[in-house]
Each structure stands twice: as C-alpha cells, then as structure tokens.
C-alpha cells in the first residue's frame, strides 16, 4: 500500500489566492507506464535513445495537426488573468500550477526550436533547450492538470491549457514516458471493453444481482438487460456505475426510468464503457479506437438510439467528438440527438409527462449540485447554450424539495474541477487530488454551514469517486456525494400500467 505523507490544507475562507511557493508540488508524479501499457497503445515501451529528436518531431507534427497549439503558444501575453483560476494552484501554491506557467513549460521549448525570437534571443524571451529537467517538469506538471478548461473561460484569447496538457502528455508518451494509470486503462478497453477489465460473464452476473436487489427493495421487476438485440436504446455508461458507490445507485436510477417509461434498452458487453481516457492522453487515434467500439455495438445490437450515462469527460467525448470520430450515425433514429445524455433523456420524459416524481422521497436531504467541468465547459445538454446547467438542476428540483446552489463563482461555467479529473484519479496522486479539491470543498462547506446541505449531487463518475475519497480529508462524510439519477430513482412513482 502506497503511503504518501502530506497535510490537508485548512478549509479557510472561500477562494483565497495563496502566495507563490516555488516547487511546492515538484515531487508529485504519477507512476510511469510499463512497457506493456505503452505498447498496446502504439507507444514505445520505454524512453527512446534519441528522445530529444523524437519529442521535437512530435511537437512539430502536433503543431501542424492542431490549430489550437500554434495559436495558443503564440498568443499568450502573460496578462496573469488565469493565474488564480486553477484549483491545483489554489490548493498548492505551486506557481507551475498556474495555467500560464503550465503552458510555458511547453511554450519555452516551442519558442527555442520553432520561433525566430527564441532561436536568436532565448534568454530574452525565456526560451530553453529541451533537457531532461524540462521532461521531468512536463511529466510532473502535465499530470497536475485535470484538463478542466476553467482557465480558458477567463483567458482573453481563450487559451485552453487542456490542449497544451494533452500535447505535453502525447509527446511524453511518444518518447516512451506515458502515465501508467491512463494507459493501462485504455489498454483494458481495447482488449476487454471497459476500464475495469470486467469480462462479459462478470458483468452479466453483476447485472443479475442488481435486478434481484432492486426487486427485493421496491417490488418492481426493473431489468438490467445486457446484449439485447433489437432494443430501442443502447445505454453506454461509465463502468464504475456497475460497482462503485455511489455510482451504482445512479445506474439503478437509469434502469428505473427506462422501466417506468416503457422504453426497451440494453447495455453492451462489447462496449461496456462510456469513459474514454483517450482524451486525457491527448491521443486522437486511441480516443477514436475506444469510441469505435460503441459505434460497432450499436450496429451489432440494432438499436435506434444511444444514451450516455452520468460521466463528465465521456460526455464531452460523446457529445463533442463522436460525430467527428465515428460518425455519421445515419443508422440510428434521426428523431433523437446522437448521442443523448441520460439527463436529457429523463428530462424529455418528465416534460412529456411520462414520469411522475414524488419529491417527498428525498425530504431527508438538502441537496446542492456540483457542475462537472467537462459537461459545463466542454459540451452541452439540451437545445440551448447553458442547458448543461439548467437541466440537471431541473431534474434535482423535480426529485427533491430542498435544493441550494453553491457560491456563484464556483458553479456553472466557473465551476471547479473535483480535483480528480483528466486521468489523475489514481492513488499515486492522492496528495494532488486532496489539495485540488480545496476550492470545491470550501464552497461546499459554506452551503453546509449556511443552508444545512446534506448531499452534493453530480453527473460524473470521476467526480463521484474523487469526492467520496477526498471529502473525508476535509471532515465531510464520504456518502455526501450522490448521483443525480439516484435522486430521480428514489423519487420515481411506479404505476402498474406498464
């Protein structure tokens, strides 16, 4: 068991910017991927001999493939607007966790090799050679960014540090220094179909168990169908929903909604994962390959619609990238958006009067909502911009009488990452995860004190795992964090007509 010594920051006042503390987190590095984790993804197994040449060639390639890179690397004026926006800076004070400084780790190499100013006057413009120290900094600090895009909201040029982090990670992986957590997981999806490495029999077994449990609990025969050909809907959900708490209560909530709405649905054992860690490592090909399984499953099962369960980055990939990566979806029913989020699905049913919720079921709770970063700043729900903020709240209010929002500077587009997104949800980064959760914990503490909040709902598997792990460090209960569809499921009124 890995033991990391560190102090949990005191909660203190909401969003107090700490002073600069150089190298405060220089020691934080996730485990490096082993050769077998690397090679399955098409990366060299270990650090290549000519790593400088390979890294620079990769950088050159990426500069030509992604417009964001040359534009973002050229345009930053070091105005400082982003410097107090990153939850990892607010939680650690390490200046390299300021978005601009994180970008500069790559930018100073870009300037040295790809710009006239950096070739001729490196000291003047802060350009440096690509050295081992630089690579070490990249590995450390590109794994202290959760790609949450909060900085991009405040940048006058829209510079999104997530794009830089993805490029940094892709260069690292291409010279043989990938991150174990993400790459091992992507490998499992390529081979087995989900992040957990859960094979079909185990999944079937789990779902059977859930059916029994739910029927025992509410005396309604709610099904959890697997590989059911000809079902109307393919549900793709993060595999944490099959096992982890509180995720599984969300899955039960989706199943109850399908049951009550009378819409046939199925999970797929071939594509039993909504998560797509390809986005975290910034690798287009791996992201595409992971997504491709879902297209294949939808074709094989002959479904008419694809619905995605509660998962932040998965929704960004599904909503923003699927059509480009694995579209077009001309084999699905054009009457519905592809893909559709489970919250959109439930919301439409509610609007159409197909579901009845009784908020009394959740009268023991005072609920707040944590906007997940990828849903808030990287995608949308519904037909109008900002639907990603209103729809989950509407759902919660329908299922629950007591709802309050956290401080306005910490919700909607200003929301803070849970601290575990972007491929950082691993025990070897626990110090970073705890410290990065500070801003959200502060905002939560405030509504606990002012409004007696008992639960925080979320629509992201990573947020749920992260909060149930780190909230206790701040003296809060781990089971405060719940799924939105747990609230829905508990409030759902079943009638016997179906």
Partner 1 sequence: MLGSVFAILFYLAAIILVTGVAARVTRYARTPAPLVIPTTPAPLTRTGVAARMAREVVFFESLFKGSKWTWLFGWLFHFGMLVALARHLRYFTEPVWWWVAMIQWIGIYAGMAMFAGLTGLWARRLLVDRVRYISAPSDHLMLLLLLAIAGSGLVMKYVQHTDIVSLKAFTVGLVTLDWQPLPADGALLVHLSLVITLILIFPFSKLLHAPGVFFSPTRNMRDTPRENRHVAPWARDLPGAGPDRS
Contacts of 494 (CB under 8 A, 6+ apart): 218, 220, 256, 259, 260
Residue pair 85/417 in contact by the 8 Å Cβ criterion = no
By the rule CB under 8 A, 157 interacts with partner 1: yes
74 touching partner 1, by CB under 8 A: yes
Give the x/- contact pattern for partner 1 in 3-32, rule: CB under 8 A: --------------x-xx-x----------
Tell me if 335 contacts partner 1 by CB under 8 A: no
From candidates 4, 77, 404, 493, binder to partner 1 by CB under 8 A: 77
Residues 6+ apart with CB under 8 A from 327: 338
Site string for partner 1, 34-53 (x = CB under 8 A): --------------------
Q: Is 182 in the site for partner 1 (CB under 8 A)?
A: no
Assess contact for 420 and 465: CB atoms under 8 A: yes
Residue 333 binds to partner 1 (criterion: CB under 8 A) = no
C-alpha distances (whole Å) from 412 to each of 372, 417, 462 are: 9, 11, 18
Displacement of CA 156 from its chain's centroid (Å): 25
Q: According to the binding rule CB under 8 A, does residue 153 interact with partner 1?
A: yes
Q: Does 146 bind partner 1 (CB under 8 A)?
A: no
The smaller minimum CB distance to partner 1, of residues 7 and 330, is found at 330
Residue 343 CB, nearest distance to partner 1 (Å)?
A: 15
- Interface region with partner 1, contact rule CB under 8 A, candidates 179-187, 225-233, 337-345, 450-458: 337-345
Residue with tokens 């650690």: 92
Q: How far is the CB of 408 from partner 1 (least distance, A)?
A: 12
Q: How far is the CB of 103 from partner 1 (least distance, A)?
A: 10
Closest CA to 350 of 219, 485, 450: 485
Q: Which of residues 313-332 bind partner 1 (CB under 8 A)?
A: 319-321, 323-328, 330
Rule CB under 8 A: which of 376-435 touch partner 1? 376-380, 385-386, 388-389, 413
Residues 157, 16: Cα–Cα separation, whole Å? 25
Is the bond into 339 cis (omega within 30 degrees of 0)?
yes
Q: Which is nearer to partner 1, 306 or 437 (CB)?
A: 306
Does residue 65 bind partner 1 (CB under 8 A)? yes
> Residue 337, interface with partner 1 (CB under 8 A)?
yes
Q: Does the protein bind partner 1 through residue 129 (CB under 8 A)?
A: no
For the CB of residue 471, give the shortest distance to partner 1 in the complex, in Å: 27
Asked if residue 128 binds partner 1 (CB under 8 A), the reply is no
Distance CA 463, CA 435 (A): 15
Among 66, 113, 270, 494, binds partner 1 (CB under 8 A): 66
**What's the DSSP call for residue 307?**
E
Sequence-distant (≥ 6) Cβ neighbours of residue 133 within 8 angstroms: none
Please identify, using beta-carbon distances, which residue of 17 and 136 lies nearer to partner 1: 17
User: At closest approach, how far in Å is the CB of 216 from partner 1?
Assistant: 39
Nearer of residues 161 and 446 to partner 1, judged by Cβ: 161
What is the DSSP secondary structure assignment for residue 267, as one 8-state letter?
Answer: B
Give Cβ neighbours of residue 491 (< 8 Å, ≥ 6 apart): 357, 358, 359, 360, 361, 362, 398, 399, 400
Which residue from 104, 101, 107 is spatially nearest to 59, judged by alpha carbons? 107
Specify whether the CB–CB gap between 124 and 106 falls below 8 A.
no
The interface region with partner 1, picked from 64-72, 130-138, 174-182, 208-216 by CB under 8 A, is 64-72
Nearer to partner 1, 283 or 446 (CB): 283
| Under 8 Å between Cβ of 320 and 276 | no
Q: Is the dihedral of CA 447, 448, 450, 453 positive or negative?
A: positive
Strands (E), 276-364: 305-308, 340-341
CA dihedral 461, 274, 310, 257 (to 10 degrees): -130
* DSSP-assigned beta bridge partners for residue 187: none
Site track for partner 1 across 82-101, x = CB under 8 A: xxxx---------x--x-xx
Under the binding rule (CB under 8 A), the answer on residue 494 touching partner 1 is no
Nearer to partner 1, 76 or 492 (CB): 76
Q: Does 154 bind partner 1 (CB under 8 A)?
A: yes
């Amino acid at each position: 068991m890995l033991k990391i010594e560190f102090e949990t920051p005191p909660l203190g006042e909401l969003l107090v910017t700490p002073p600069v503390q150089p190298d405060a987190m220089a020691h934080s590095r996730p485990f490096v991927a082993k050769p077998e984790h690397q090679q399955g993804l098409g990366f060299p197994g270990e650090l290549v001999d000519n790593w400088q040449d390979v890294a620079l060639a990769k950088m050159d390639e990426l500069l030509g493939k992604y417009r964001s890179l040359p534009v973002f690397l050229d345009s930053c004026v070091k105005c400082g607007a982003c410097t107090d926006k990153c939850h990892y800076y607010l939680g650690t004070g390490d200046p390299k966790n300021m978005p601009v400084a994180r970008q500069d780790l790559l930018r100073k190499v870009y300037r040295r090799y790809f710009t006239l100013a950096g070739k001729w006057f490196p000291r003047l413009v802060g350009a440096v050679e690509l050295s081992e120290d630089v690579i070490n900094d990249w590995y450390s600090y590109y794994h202290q960014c959760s790609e949450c895009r909060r900085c991009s909201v405040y940048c006058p040029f829209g510079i999104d540090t997530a794009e830089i982090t993805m490029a940094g990670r892709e260069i690292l992986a291409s010279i043989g220094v990938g991150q174990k957590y993400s790459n091992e997981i992507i490998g499992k999806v390529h081979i087995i179909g989900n992040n957990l490495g859960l094979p079909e029999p185990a999944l079937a077994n789990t779902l059977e168990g859930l059916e029994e449990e739910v029927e025992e609990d509410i005396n309604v025969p709610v099904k959890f169908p697997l590989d059911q050909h000809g079902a109307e809907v393919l549900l793709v959900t993060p595999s944490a929903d099959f096992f982890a708490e509180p995720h599984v209560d969300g899955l039960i909530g989706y199943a109850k909604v399908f049951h009550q709405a009378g819409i046939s649905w199925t999970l797929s054992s071939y594509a039993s994962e909504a998560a797509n860690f390809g986005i975290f490592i910034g690798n287009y090909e791996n992201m595409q390959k992971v997504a491709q399984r879902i297209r294949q499953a939808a074709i094989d099962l002959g479904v008419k619609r694809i619905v995605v369960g509660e998962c932040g980055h998965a929704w960004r990939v599904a909503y923003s990238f699927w059509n480009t990566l694995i579209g077009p979806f001309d084999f699905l029913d054009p009457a519905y958006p592809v893909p559709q989020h489970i919250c959109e699905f439930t919301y439409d049913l509610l609007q159409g009067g197909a579901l009845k919720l009784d908020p009394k079921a959740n009268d023991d709770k005072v609920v707040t909502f944590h906007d997940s970063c990828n849903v808030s700043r990287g995608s949308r729900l519904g037909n109008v911009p900002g639907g990603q903020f209103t729809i989950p709240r509407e759902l919660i209010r329908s299922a629950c009488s007591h709802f309050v929002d956290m401080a306005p500077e910490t919700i909607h587009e200003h929301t803070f990452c849970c601290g575990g997104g972007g491929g950082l949800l691993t025990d070897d980064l626990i110090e970073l995860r705890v410290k990065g959760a500070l801003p959200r914990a502060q905002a939560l503490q405030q509504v606990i004190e002012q409004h007696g909040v008992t639960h925080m709902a979320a629509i992201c598997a990573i947020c749920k795992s992260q909060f149930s792990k780190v909230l206790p460090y701040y003296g809060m209960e781990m089971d405060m964090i719940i799924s939105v569809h747990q609230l829905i499921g508990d409030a759902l009124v079943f009638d016997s007509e179906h």
